[in-house]
Structure 1
Amino acid sequence: METYITKLKHILPTFFIIAFSTIIGLLLFRWLFVIQFDIIDIKEEVWCLWLPMGLPWIPILIWLRPRLRILTFKKDNDNGRFFFQFLSAGTIIASLLVSQNYLTTASGKLKELSTISDIDKIEKARYYKLKKFSVAPNYGGSFTDFRTSGKYNQDLNFDVYFVTPILKDTSETITDIPKYWYGVKFKEQISNKISTEEKERKYEAFYNECIDKMNKYDFHSLDHFERKPTSDDRQNFLKAIEARTKQTADENFIILEPIQERFEDRNGNKFAWIFGSFGIGLAVFLFALIWPGYSETERKRFLTGKKPKQDDLLDMLNYLVPKGDHFATSIILDLNIIVFLLMIFSGIHIISPNGIELLHWGANRRLETSGGEWWRLFTSMFLHGGIMHLLLNIYGLVIAAIFVEPLLGRKKYFILYILSGLCGSLASIWWYPNTISVGASGAIFGLYGAILGLLLTNAFPKEGKKSIFMMIGIYVGINLLWGLTGGIDNAAHIGGLLSGALIGIILYKLDDGKKNGI
């Protein structure tokens, strides 16, 4: 019992400080700079999803992780301590998600309007009750947002957005582009592994079903309207307006989405669940803390400020600093991460950016690339279709780089990486007529191809070739087989793999020839 209390005293205060400062800090920051004074205009998904999901990890890794070193486990590894980091983050994330959602609904004001034009005469609000209005369905427009989802992009999502102008009454005629629009959204999810023809059939059937629903839609069946804030949904509604008007829809357009539930019920039990979710997570954390052992040595080491000999997090961060045998790899990693962060801060979806967004940033597709935009063969190598795509490629790159860069040196390594990536991009547009391709996979498979090719030379010690072949061969084989299930650019993988094997051997032989005086 005494040991358990010692563990609590060492870990729990820091956990509470991190939790409360993160939750209260984000709430206050958003309320002050976004809701109260409208200084920062960032997509609502950032506040309600991405910041709650990512922000807690920073203080946990910096301040809580070192304190968890006092915990010992039967197997001497960091998996047990990572479980407590994950549990801590999960507890704070759950409370943040609920609290941000509560702030959204609780802070939203409701204004009553006599006619739609009154919306510009009163203080801006989140919710509106419109006493009298009419719509012009014949002037409506639509836009469909296609996005993949799932860990391996195994799902394809259709989000269909319909807009129609809101008028004062039936006597009003449309003489200019309307400013106020009624927005309706429909969703559907299908498998991303079926054929392109089957996807098109399913989409056509779903879209026709949506059209049928809109033809029968009761526009006056609602309790109140919600004014769409800066968000992915608002952007897509604006694209629906653009599809109808053939003109760019700017931020002056107002989109109102019907809400069926009563305004008084908008908060539900969210406030109670802020504390409920935190309490459940805390209870699990306290219960789990019973099982690990306790190291007094590590506690004294922490209190005296001594750093451990090995720190996986610092080792990982140091790998991003160009030096030694990973100089070139670090530069490539940094470029990929920086480009991804620029994409996210520009408003690109962090999980599943769509094809239009990726093409805007330089994705590779036969029509654009062969039409003169050959630079896409290069730029697409540094773009990624979501954070999971980026993380998987980082993992694959680091594993391959451990073998290749020390062997070839940074200059030849750069040459191998770039040329393999370009060959992968060329293979992609040669094989696929209309596929949008992004990612470093072609270049990374080039590194693996080089490893397999160099196994035919004396580049690796004879006694270690079998184990290297087994490890790399299995990795490559699994990824190629997975690519056959659909949703993955296997042409780029194969193009990079074959070209990497050839280029790797040539670069190695050139160096080997110089050593032998050839």
Structure 2
Amino acid sequence: MKNIKIKLQYIFLPFLLVSIGTIVSYTAFRWFFDIKLGILPLKENLLNLWIPITVAGILVYVFLRRKVKILNLRGKRDDGHFVYVFVMAFATGIPLMMSQQYLVKSAYKLQEVSSIAEIQNLQNEKYFTIPAFQVNKYASLSHVNSRVSGRNNENLNFHLYLSCPFKFVDNVWYGVEYSRSIKNSGTEQKKNSAYRIFIRSSEEKFNKYNFQDVRYFEKLGYSDDKDGFLNAIKEQYPDKNLKEQIILIPKKEAFSERLGNTFPWIFGAYGIGVFVLLIMILIPKIDEEEWKRFQQKKPLRDDDVKDILKFLNPTGVYKASAILILLNIGVFLVMVLYGLNLMSPTPQELLEIGGNRRTEVLNGEYWRLFSATFIHGGLLHLGMNMVGLAFLGMLLEHFVGAVKLIVIYVTCGILASLASIYWYENTVGVGASGAIYGLNGLLLAFLVFKVYPKYERSAAWIVLGLFGGIGLLFGIFSGGIDNAAHFGGLFSGFVIGAILVLLYKKQFTKK
């Protein structure tokens, strides 16, 4: 009975406080600053999905990870406590995300207007009914983009956006979208064929499109879809002020059906998560030793967060690795705040912010060879590269020093960018992988020339195989991978490593 009381008081009740507080606080923050004041310059998918997931995960981990450690999970996998924290974050994040969907849809009423022109004066409204309107179908503007998705970029998604102007009014557009998803592993010929089929079928559907089949309109907020429609306008009218353009999306269901069962499912999802967590908490016993440490307010003996923060300290042991990782993360955050898709920005978007392509470089934009090495095509792309950079940095920085490691990283990244534009004519290259493969090449040279002592070589070969060999094989047999940059970085890193061994082998072997 005592153990149950401890678990309820120190784990379950704090979870309820953290989870409910997170859901209520974020929803209130979102309502006030985004919906009421409209001053959050962030896309809807960030506010509805990614920020809730991040906020839930961080707050649960910060406030509850120490408490979960008092559970005795010995004999299970080492990540048993992490599973509990993950379930807590999941039980908080899912209803938080659902509440954001409900909030956005329920916060606005249906406005009846007599003409399209009136919508321009209702900036803070979202839903409209219009008794009569006309669309100039033959003046429609189109924009097509493609995004990859999936853990390994296995899907290629085509989107066609058609911005159709309403008659007798400027700056208000009727939006029609078509999309299709195909496998990204096929040849370029198959992808091009699928793209042509998609465009042709979309044109056939649009020719038969009934613009009057609509019950009400939804005004698009700041989102990837709105960017697609605005790009169609921008391509035809580059001087138009895009901030003044209004995109209306037709809705065919009744306005009362827009919420569906979202509201009860918020409580249902939270209740299911709470119940599952309660059962999980009640099953294990208390770790008496850890419970005493908790009562004495002693810190965790093995604290992954402190280890990570220590590694990322730019004045710590791994200065260069920390600086490079923080720079890459910082650039990515700026990209997201700038409006690029968190998971899969389009090649055109990446090109506009500094991606590498042959045409632009040969026209004098040589800075792209460098800038592209700090730009990433999505969160997964960034995450995998930073993990590889961390492991390689730990193995290499001790030998070459912080300054040399940064110089080698940048040099290999630029040479990898050159290899990319030499091999590919129209591919937009981004990412730190070319520079990271340069570090793989450097590590390979040190292993070949036996710079590492025997007891370290096995671990070094494993790291090289995981972050070099497997990545190269995957790139060869998969689509959408800049193999030229990978091989260019690997070769340049190996050459630099061989030169360093010739010059400094005696100093290296003493370390």
TM-score (norm 2): 0.95
Equivalence map 1:298-309=2 (5 Å): 298-309=290-301
- Residue 152 of structure 1 is matched in structure 2 by 152
- Structure 1 residues 280-327: Cα deviation after superposition (integer angstroms, max 9, x where no partner): 111221222244332133223223321123311111122111234411
- Return the match for 1:341 from 329, 333, 356: 333
Q: Displacement, 1:2?
A: 4.1
Cα distance in 2 for partners of 1:340, 1:120 equals: 35
Q: Displacement, 1:247?
A: 3.5
Equivalence map 1:229-308=2 (5 Å): 229-308=221-300
Cα distance in 2 for partners of 1:25, 1:324 equals: 36
- Structure 1 residues 9-60: Cα deviation after superposition (integer angstroms, max 9, x where no partner): 2111211111111111111112112222333343222221121121112211
Three-state SS of the structure 2 residue aligned to 1:72 is: coil
Q: How many residues align?
A: 508
Cα distance in 2 for partners of 1:43, 1:303 equals: 44
Equivalence map 1:159-198=2 (5 Å): 159-167=159-167, 178-198=170-190
Equivalence map 1:108-507=2 (5 Å): 108-121=108-121, 124-167=124-167, 178-466=170-458, 468-484=460-476, 485-507=478-500
Change in 2 beyond 3 A, CA 1:83/1:247: same
Q: Are the counterparts in 2 of residues 416 and 504 from structure 1 also a CA contact under 8 Å?
A: no
Q: Displacement, 1:152?
A: 1.1
Three-state SS of the structure 1 residue aligned to 2:365 is: coil
Amino acid at match of 2:172: Y
Change in 2 beyond 3 A, CA 1:434/1:293: farther
Three-state SS of the structure 1 residue aligned to 2:166 is: strand
Cα distance in 1 for partners of 2:199, 2:319 equals: 51
Q: Are the counterparts in 1 of residues 71 and 286 from structure 2 also a CA contact under 8 Å?
A: yes
Change in 2 beyond 3 A, CA 1:121/1:63: closer
Q: Are the counterparts in 1 of residues 57 and 93 from structure 2 also a CA contact under 8 Å?
A: no
Q: Are the counterparts in 2 of residues 238 and 249 from structure 1 also a CA contact under 8 Å?
A: no
Cα distance in 1 for partners of 2:369, 2:122 equals: 52
Q: Displacement, 1:92?
A: 1.1
Q: Displacement, 1:124?
A: 3.8
Q: Displacement, 1:76?
A: 6.9
Q: Displacement, 1:441?
A: 0.7
Three-state SS of the structure 2 residue aligned to 1:133 is: coil
Cα distance in 1 for partners of 2:284, 2:431 equals: 41
Q: Are the counterparts in 2 of residues 110 and 129 from structure 1 also a CA contact under 8 Å?
A: yes
Amino acid at match of 2:503: L
Q: Are the counterparts in 2 of residues 446 and 498 from structure 1 also a CA contact under 8 Å?
A: yes
Q: Are the counterparts in 1 of residues 391 and 463 from structure 2 also a CA contact under 8 Å?
A: no
Cα distance in 2 for partners of 1:513, 1:23 equals: 59
| Residues 1:68 and 2:91 aligned together | no
More moved, 354-363 vs 465-474: 465-474
Q: Are the counterparts in 2 of residues 444 and 496 from structure 1 also a CA contact under 8 Å?
A: yes
Three-state SS of the structure 2 residue aligned to 1:92 is: helix
Q: Displacement, 1:121?
A: 4.8
More moved, 414-423 vs 79-88: 414-423
| Residues 1:84 and 2:84 aligned together | yes
Cα distance in 2 for partners of 1:390, 1:245 equals: 35
Cα distance in 1 for partners of 2:457, 2:267 equals: 56
Change in 2 beyond 3 A, CA 1:120/1:369: closer
Three-state SS of the structure 2 residue aligned to 1:251 is: helix
Cα distance in 2 for partners of 1:341, 1:35 equals: 23
Amino acid at match of 2:497: G
Cα distance in 1 for partners of 2:291, 2:454 equals: 46
Amino acid at match of 2:7: K
Amino acid at match of 2:152: Y
Q: Displacement, 1:242?
A: 2.3
Amino acid at match of 2:164: T
Three-state SS of the structure 2 residue aligned to 1:85 is: helix
- Residue 503 of structure 2 is matched in structure 1 by 510
List runs of 5+ in structure 1 lacking aligned partners.
none
Q: Are the counterparts in 2 of residues 139 and 244 from structure 1 also a CA contact under 8 Å?
A: no
Instruction: Report the RMSD for the aligned CA atoms in angstroms.
Output: 1.9
Cα distance in 1 for partners of 2:388, 2:39 equals: 41
Amino acid at match of 2:33: F
Cα distance in 2 for partners of 1:407, 1:303 equals: 43
Q: Displacement, 1:467?
A: 5.1
Q: Displacement, 1:456?
A: 2.6
Amino acid at match of 2:100: Q
Amino acid at match of 1:231: S
Q: Displacement, 1:334?
A: 0.9
Amino acid at match of 2:312: L
TM-score (norm 1): 0.94
Q: Are the counterparts in 2 of residues 352 and 386 from structure 1 also a CA contact under 8 Å?
A: yes
- Structure 1 residues 377-402: Cα deviation after superposition (integer angstroms, max 9, x where no partner): 11111111111111101111111112
List runs of 5+ in structure 2 lacking aligned partners.
none
Cα distance in 1 for partners of 2:461, 2:247 equals: 58
Change in 2 beyond 3 A, CA 1:27/1:466: closer
Cα distance in 2 for partners of 1:452, 1:515 equals: 15
Amino acid at match of 2:84: F
Cα distance in 1 for partners of 2:139, 2:465 equals: 58
- Structure 1 residues 246-289: Cα deviation after superposition (integer angstroms, max 9, x where no partner): 54342112111000110011111111011001111112212222
Change in 2 beyond 3 A, CA 1:236/1:123: closer
Q: Are the counterparts in 2 of residues 147 and 156 from structure 1 also a CA contact under 8 Å?
A: yes
Q: Displacement, 1:429?
A: 1.1
